[in-house]
Amino acid sequence: MTEHVTIIMIEDDEGHARLIEKNIRRAGVLNEILPFTDGTSAVNFLFGPDGTAAQNAGRALLVLLDLNLPDMTGVDILKRIKENEHLRLSPVVVLTTTDDKVEIQRCYDLGANVYVTKPVNYENFANAIRQLGLFFSVIQVPKAK
Amino acid sequence: MTSLPFLEPLRRSRGFSQLAVLALGFVVLIAISAASIWLVNRAKEDAAQVSHTLRVENMLSLIQIMVRRAESAQRGYLLTGDASYLEFFEDTLAQVPPTLLQARATTADNPERQKALAALEPNVSQKLAELRQTVEMYKSGDVAGALKIVRTDRGEALMREITAQVDAMKDQEERLLAQRTTSSNQTSLWLLLVNLVGVVTIIGLAGLSMHLVQRNTAALRDAHKQVANANQSLERRVLERTADLQEANNEIQSFAYIVSHDLRSPLVNIMGFTSELEALRTDLFDRLAALRAKANDTDVARDEELGRDFEEAFGFIKASITKMDRLIKAILDLSRQGRAEFHPMPVEVAPLVENIGATMAHQLQERDATLKVGRLPPIVSDRMALEQIFTNLIDNAVKYLRADVPGRIEISASETPGYITYLVSDNGRGIDPRDKVRVFELFRRSGPQDRPGEGIGLAHVRTLVRRMGGAIIMDSELGRGTTFKVTLPRRMVQNAEEGKHD
């Protein structure tokens, strides 16, 4: 089941993306990772040209979302995912540098499943990602409605 | 501030002219009163003179009448021989000398009248003597002789002369009377005139002063309006400036926030890839060792040296990154505190401080220190902010206690109607007076840097206290202890413009 989950990684910082990927792989997670470095291309992929996300209906997706994107804020993407009938059950992991309590609360209010702050301390960072990887390996992503 | 310079001379000139009018009014009143008193006195004198003249005239008439009456009584006696005429004659005769004397006394101030009286007196005496002579002759039976004397016309001549003299005097007195009456009338007229002029002047002055007062009032009203306008524009300007400042402050806050936030992102990469490099190095050295073994190279020392250099470089990089992360975090916290919204509510400060003390019981015990909480008045303020302030200050006090004496930290308060000052005193190592201001600055610390910390706490406290509308100052003596004084408004006012963003 888990093998079919595709990880959508929306992260504008390529270094971060690389570090995240490395650590996910280290955790033994071999799922496909689709990286996006800006919000627009990610939204295009997720919701399709008609914006309904119909082409992703039934796909098992997990979204890794950075909040600080060059062209839009990740909060908007989160909101759209959670409001979309095809995507709203896909887990969204917010992975960002912001540890502002208000921001965290807002993300959870909008339906984020996990909120992870990127720590500067690499040990912690690697740990957090690896734990996420473990989390991915046990999580049951609903297929479709 | 700039005063309103046009108000000052204006008020002074108005005040001056008003004072002048008032003074003039008083002078006129005094002059009128003096003139009136003088004129009234003169009128009284005039009246006395007039009545004096009338009295003199009266006396002169009396003298004339008496002589006539004496003559009539003599004639009556000579005709009838009736003794009652004789009696009347004697009576009248007796009255003449005192009347004459009285007339003299009354006119003592008038030499002309004295002279005239002196001329009159012998004639009167002669006339009276002639009358007496005839009466005596009749009494002694010489009726013919008496009649003969009467017929001589000498008595008649004397009588005419007396009448002429008295009439002359009376004429003079009449003239005098006319003169005095005129003078009296004049005095009255003057009195009337002076009073009239006085009344007119006073009315004029009153009118003038009323006009001045009115003008003054108008000027004052104008000035008031100007002041009000100035105040209003000042208030408007203050509001504008406050808004500008608020905006600038918000900009700085968001700038600090964005900068610190965006700085963290590359830091994550630096740290991450540094760690990756470390891992890579291990792989590299492993591979190096394997290759060396293959090539039969035994220069292990060289490898170890390279390894140490690597180690050192990584150490510095990592320490710097950690430090930079802490600093960025501090700026982030500070800017976050600058944005946080306050929720004023009544707070019992003493239990709040005691709670903080309880959470720090372990540190206190470790440093052999006691925390004494005095009477602390309640305040209407933000509870979270108060907690942060007291936590930071007490934490600081505990941190810098001296090792050689038991620590003593005391929280007390003093109050004024609008403000409460909370004092956090310790007997710690104290702060150099030169650092009095510096300790409140971000990343600045005082004294030996032998305690952990970034120099953030007091900067936070100051930011909070200022935002709460208060102030914080510090008294300290090196080696004796420090007292922080936090002055906060008794009732915190929620600034409507603040805390809207977030």
The domain segmentation of chain B, as residue ranges, is: 7-219, 251-337, 342-489
Over range B301-312, report the average pLDDT. 89
Closest CA in chain A for residue B325: A120
User: From chain B, which residues contact A within 8 Å (Cβ)?
Assistant: 261-262, 264-269, 271-276, 321-322, 325, 336, 502
Q: Which of B253, B265, B283, B333 to mutate to test the interface with A (most CBs of A within 10 A)?
A: B265
Q: How sure is the predictor about A110, in pLDDT bands with cuts at 50, 70 and 90?
A: very high
Q: If you average pLDDT over each of B218-232, B256-270, B335-349, which comes out highest?
A: B218-232
Chain-centre distance for alpha carbon B409: 48
| Residue owning tokens 């016309």 | B153
Could you tell me what percent of chain A has a pLDDT over 70? Answer: 92
Nearest to A11 by CA among A65, A61, A47, A63: A65
Give a yes or no: residue A44 inside a domain: yes
Q: How sure is the predictor about B1, in pLDDT bands with cuts at 50, 70 and 90?
A: very low
List the end-to-end C-alpha distance of chain B, in Å, as a whole number: 37
Using CB atoms, pick whichever of B264, B336, B502 lies closest to residue A120.
B264
Q: If you average pLDDT over each of A18-32, B95-109, B344-358, which comes out highest?
A: B344-358
ipTM: 0.80
Q: In A, which residues are within 8 Å of B330 by CB distance?
A: none
> Can you read off the two tokens belonging to residue B330?
């501090």
| Contact of B452 with B379, CB cutoff 8 Å | no
Cα separation, B49 vs B11, whole angstroms:
57
Domain tally, chain A: 1
Using CB atoms, pick whichever of A13, A98, A102 lies closest to residue B261.
A98
Determine the structural domain holding residue A12 and report its residue range. 2-138
The reported pLDDT for the residue numbered A1 is: 41
Residue B389 has pLDDT above 60, yes or no: yes
The sign of the CA dihedral B443, B444, B449, B451 is negative
| Contact of A143 with A60, CB cutoff 8 Å | yes
The reported pLDDT for the residue numbered B223 is: 94
The reported pLDDT for the residue numbered A52 is: 85
Cα separation, B1 vs B364, whole angstroms:
51
| Contact of A60 with A91, CB cutoff 8 Å | no
Paired sense of beta strands A114-117 and A92-96, if any: parallel
| Contact of A4 with A60, CB cutoff 8 Å | yes
Lowest mean per-residue pLDDT among A58-62, A108-112, B89-93, B252-256: B252-256
**CATH number 1.20.120.30 is the correct assignment for the domain at B7-219:** yes
Q: In chain A, what is the greatest distance between 2 CA atoms, to the nearest angstrom?
A: 42
Chain A nearest CA to B334, separation (Å) = 12
Residue A10, strand partner residues: A36, A65
Chain A nearest CA to B415, separation (Å) = 36
The reported pLDDT for the residue numbered A79 is: 92
Residue B313 has pLDDT above 50, yes or no: yes
Residue B355 has pLDDT above 50, yes or no: yes
pTM over 0.95: no
How many Å is the Cα radius of gyration of chain B?
Answer: 63
Give a yes or no: residue A28 inside a domain: yes
A73: left (phi over 0), alpha (psi -120 to 50) or beta: beta
Could you tell me what percent of chain B has a pLDDT over 70? Answer: 95
Q: Which of A97, A100, A106 to mutate to test the interface with B (most CBs of B within 10 A)?
A: A97
The reported pLDDT for the residue numbered A139 is: 66
DSSP symbol at A55 = G
| Residue owning tokens 């591979």 | B287
> Can you read off the two tokens belonging to residue B446?
């005082």
| CATH number of the domain that residue A68 is part of | 3.40.50.2300
Nearest to A98 by CA among B209, B264, B64: B264
Residue of higher predicted confidence among A138 and A33: A33
Amino acid identity of residue B463, one-letter, is T
Q: How sure is the predictor about B495, in pLDDT bands with cuts at 50, 70 and 90?
A: low
Q: How sure is the predictor about B468, in pLDDT bands with cuts at 50, 70 and 90?
A: confident
Task: Provide the H-helix boundaries in B81-153.
Answer: 83-106, 111-139, 143-151
Per-residue model confidence as pLDDT tens digits over B286-302: 998 899 889 888 888 88
Please give the CATH number for the structural domain made up of B342-489. 3.30.565.10
Chain A nearest CA to B473, separation (Å) = 31
Per-residue model confidence as pLDDT tens digits over B52-110: 888 888 888 888 888 888 888 888 888 888 888 888 888 888 888 888 888 888 888 88
Q: How sure is the predictor about B421, in pLDDT bands with cuts at 50, 70 and 90?
A: very high
Cβ neighbors of A139 (< 8 A, separation 6 or more) are A2, A5, A62, A91
Over range B258-262, report the average pLDDT. 75
Cα separation, B446 vs B462, whole angstroms:
16
Over range A10-25, report the average pLDDT. 89
Give a yes or no: residue A144 inside a domain: no
B153: left (phi over 0), alpha (psi -120 to 50) or beta: left
Containing B420, the helix (H) or strand (E) segment is strand B419-426
The reported pLDDT for the residue numbered B14 is: 55
